Amino acid sequence: MGFGHGDLQRMMKQVQRMQADLRRVQEEVAQRTVDASAGGGAVVATCNGRGELVQLHIDPSVIDPQDPGMLSDLVVVAVNEALRRAQAMLAEEMAKVAPGLPGLPGLGR
């Protein structure tokens, strides 16, 4: 039992529709943002669905010229968590469009 020409055309149309849906989801998610904070909110990083840092808020009270390493650590923690949340948001939305396909967050990048 094989595929007929009509079956192949239907499958190709489904694949094209799924690709278009995935691109649409990527574009929509790119417009959304997620926040993550460190130091009890002293540093807040905001990333978009493309995984880009779009905003960084630093409370002036944590800017200590005698301890720049502490501020650096807070920034790294907040940014990394915001990036993780952005990736999770994209993966969640992509899974809604194409459940069961592995590696979706990397498509189109």
The closest alpha carbon to 31, from 90, 77, 80, 88, belongs to 90
Tens digits of pLDDT across the chain (109 residues): 566 778 888 888 888 888 888 888 889 989 999 999 999 999 999 999 999 999 999 999 999 999 999 999 999 999 999 999 999 998 888 888 877 665 544 444 3
pLDDT for the residue numbered 52: 95
Specify the pLDDT at position 107: 45
Q: Are 108 and 22 within 8 A, CB to CB?
A: yes
**Domains defined along the chain, listed by start:** 20-97 (3.30.1310.10)
d(CA 6, CA 3): 8
What is the spatial distance between Cα 53 and Cα 82, in angstroms, rounded to a whole number? 8
The pLDDT score that the predictor gives to residue 106 is: 47
**pTM exceeds 0.85 for this model:** no
